[in-house]
Amino acid sequence: MTGFKVINPGMHSLLQDKGRMGFHSLGVTSGGAFDQYSFGWANRLCLNPENAGCIEILVGGLILEAQLSTQIAITGADMPIKINDSIVENWCTHNIQAGDKIAFGYATAGCRAYLAVAGGIQAPVIFNSLSTVVRESLGGLTKLGKPLEKGDIVACSSSSHSTERSVPAKYHCEFDTDIAEIRMVTGYQYEQFSQQQISQFFATDYVISPNSDRMGYRLQGPAIDITGCEMLSEGISLGAVQLPADGMPIILLCDRQTIGGYPKLGSVFSQDIAKLAQMMPGKKLRFKPFSIEQAQQLLQESAPK
């Protein structure tokens, strides 16, 4: 088996594809790349199928040594990247030869980068996906949900692709330096909240708690009194914004539980999940109400023609 040898796994590097769809009835969450936008561009640059496996690199520190000749693409967070002794750009492809070392520094803006390989990464498929979900001990190289470790071999095939490609700057991620505006599609439970609760929610600048991960972002701010708001357990959608008993909102994300009973104001608009994926604890965000009609129109306008 040849591919890329892990010299240093970095902070938290995971194999990901688009995720496990259709298994919530079994209690299996979707997982998948957190920033599907950057993930998608990485695969397009490598001319891969849209569901090809990539490496999701949190914060940085990953060092790989190539054992074959191929082409890679790197997208997502601003991380200093070196191939051997040369600094290279992200949001473009790079031709790799056996023996080359690819080293990621630490993010200066955003926090997740994606590395795609021509032809895709090869790993065991469980429930139609190779995605790593640590909390469920599922997926990845070992099938046990473990992040990449020193000495691992990330398998792939050699490739003769050599034409270099890049993503125009206008399509690169934008990283909010002050307060990110997150659009929330209001849900069917929205009208069960009082006007005071709703006004407080949308007027608050929340801070992402250190107790946040791919399962969910816990937010810090003034607590919302939800006394008397009780719901039956139901399926949880990606981006659901729930209010637990302490009144501090939680945004449920790609590694979320499949059911829950806390009241929910709505769900983050799908295009803004990628924005959340690039935000670290301590960053601020503000919610903006967004109707299902607005969401549908924007998705239609941005669909490939």
Q: How confident is the model at residue 304 (pLDDT cuts 50, 70, 90)?
A: low
d(CA 117, CA 102): 12
Q: How confident is the model at residue 178 (pLDDT cuts 50, 70, 90)?
A: confident
| 3-state DSSP of the chain | CCEEEEEEECCEEEEECCCCCCCHHHCCCCCCCCCHHHHHHHHHHCCCCCCCEEEEEECECEEEEECCCEEEEEEEEECCEEECCEEECCCEEEEECCCCEEEECECCEEEEEEEEECCCEECCCECCECCCEHHHCEECCCCECCCCCCCCEEECCCCCCCCCCECCHHHCCCCCCCEEEEEEEECCCHHHCCHHHHHHHHHCCEEECCCCCCCEEEEECCCCCCCCCCCCCEECCCCEEECCCCCCCEEECCCCCCEECCCEEEEECHHHHHHHHCCCCCCEEEEEEECHHHHHHHHHHHCCC
Confidence at residue 229, expressed as pLDDT on a 0 to 100 scale: 65
Q: Residue 75 forms beta bridges with which residues?
A: 114
Q: What is the arithmetic mean of pLDDT over 249-261?
A: 94
Domain spans in the chain, listed from the N-terminal domain onward: 3-159, 179-302
Considering the entire predicted model, what is its pTM? Answer: 0.95
Confidence at residue 230, expressed as pLDDT on a 0 to 100 scale: 66
Poorest-pLDDT segment among 106-110, 203-207, 293-297: 293-297
Q: How confident is the model at residue 95 (pLDDT cuts 50, 70, 90)?
A: very high
d(CA 162, CA 179): 40
Q: How confident is the model at residue 14 (pLDDT cuts 50, 70, 90)?
A: very high
The structural architecture, per CATH, of the domain 179-302 is Beta Barrel (2.40)
Q: What is the arithmetic mean of pLDDT over 45-52?
A: 97
Question: For 149-174, what is each residue's pLDDT tens digit?
Answer: 999 999 999 998 889 999 999 999 98
Q: Is the pLDDT of residue 180 over 90?
A: yes
Q: What is the arithmetic mean of pLDDT over 176-204?
A: 91
Average pLDDT of the residues of the chain:
94
Confidence at residue 192, expressed as pLDDT on a 0 to 100 scale: 84
d(CA 239, CA 255): 11
Q: How confident is the model at residue 61 (pLDDT cuts 50, 70, 90)?
A: very high
- The rounded percent of the chain whose pLDDT value lies above 70 is 98
Tokens describing residue 263: 């009241």
